[in-house]
């Protein structure tokens, strides 16, 4: 009998181990005993922030992405500059655009009251990304937990490893592959652009001078381009904001993919998904046709992204304040 019990325990054990790292696992139940209210606290504060400003959902989701693509999901993006640390907040992808840091601070201080030095900033980012997705109508998933926080940041990693809106399709795919992600993950995760905004400076070249010949991007719908030019002039207006998905800008759905098929992707990095690669074009079509399929894959790819090189065991630390090392 005891053999059977042992066997059945073994049979179920792997179910909660979602991402092996070099010295330990991430699993959704990580805080069940040490901080049982952790997920509830995160969800509550994220919900409050998104109710106050819908855009915050996209901002929090993006923080997790910009964290994971630089040295793994270790909350390095949250560190301010101090001593030998040069903050990733100064990098090209983050400067004047990464936001939501105050929401993370509020979550962290609530968690420190509830269970001091227990829940990592890296896990807060992963949970806030999931909650933001759900709150805007997207899919839910169990978030594997147990990441620890880095003791350093990488400005160069932030500048070089995060895909940029004007990168070629191949460069973007290469940046995903370097993180252990594939073309399916690339297309599904790009679907997060169903919510949120982009600044004029991130797509201006498509409106006026796509390939250096003074001509607009011919893969951009002309009437849509004309509309965009009204708020994004040749010079000035760099910080003017535009919806990434003009059809349902605050609803997490598959209209992003439908827009791309209609040549109305906002960023170059959105539109190239349907113009530069057969396999990615097929995926765009599939997700445009089938919202459930998109949701399913988005959840899977988010778990996979959340598993990029986590610090576990005794590597890293649990920061008391997400902006600085202990």
8 A C-beta contact, residue 166 and residue 268: yes
Q: Which of 114, 118, 132, 116 is nearest to 45 (CA)?
A: 132
- Catalytic annotation, residues: 66
Cβ-based burial of 105 (10 A; exposed 0-12, middle 13-18, buried ≥19): middle
Is the Cα dihedral 209, 214, 220, 223 positive or negative?
positive
CA distance 202 to 191: 17
DSSP state of 142: P
Q: Are 98 and 89 in contact (CB under 8 A)?
A: yes
Which of 186-201 are b and which e, b meaning 16 or more Cβ less than 10 Å from the residue's Cβ?
A: bbbbbbbbbbbbbbbe
């Amino acid at each position: 009998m005891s053999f059977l019990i042992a066997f059945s325990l073994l049979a179920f054990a792997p179910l909660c181990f979602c991402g092996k790292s070099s010295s330990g696992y991430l699993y959704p139940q990580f805080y069940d005993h040490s901080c049982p209210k952790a997920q509830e606290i995160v969800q509550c504060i994220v919900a409050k922030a998104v109710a106050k400003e819908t855009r915050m959902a996209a901002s929090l989701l993006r923080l997790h992405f910009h964290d994971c693509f630089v040295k793994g999901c270790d909350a390095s993006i949250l560190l301010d500059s101090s001593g030998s640390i040069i903050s990733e907040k100064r990098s090209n992808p983050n400067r004047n655009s990464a936001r939501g840091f105050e929401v993370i601070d509020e979550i962290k201080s609530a968690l420190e009251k509830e269970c001091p030095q227990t829940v990592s900033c890296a896990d807060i980012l992963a949970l806030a990304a999931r909650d933001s997705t759900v709150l805007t109508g997207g899919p839910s998933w169990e978030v594997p937990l147990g990441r620890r926080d880095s003791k350093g940041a990488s400005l160069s990693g932030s500048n070089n490893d995060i895909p940029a809106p004007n990168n070629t399709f191949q460069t973007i795919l290469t940046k995903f592959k370097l993180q252990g992600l594939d073309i399916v993950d690339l297309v599904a995760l790009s679907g997060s652009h169903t919510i949120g905004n982009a600044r004029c400076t991130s797509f201006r070249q498509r409106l006026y001078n796509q390939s250096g010949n003074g001509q607009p991007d011919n893969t951009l719908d002309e009437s849509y381009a004309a509309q965009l030019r009204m708020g994004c002039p040749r010079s000035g207006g760099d910080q003017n904001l535009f919806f990434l998905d003009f059809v349902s800008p605050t609803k997490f759905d598959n209209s992003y993919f439908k827009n791309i098929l209609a040549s109305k992707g906002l960023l170059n990095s959105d539109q190239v998904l349907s113009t530069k690669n057969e396999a990615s074009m097929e995926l765009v079509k599939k997700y445009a046709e089938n919202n459930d399929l998109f949701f399913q894959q988005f959840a899977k790819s988010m778990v996979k992204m959340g598993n990029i090189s986590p610090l576990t065991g005794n590597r890293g630390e649990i920061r008391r304040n997400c902006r600085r090392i202990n």
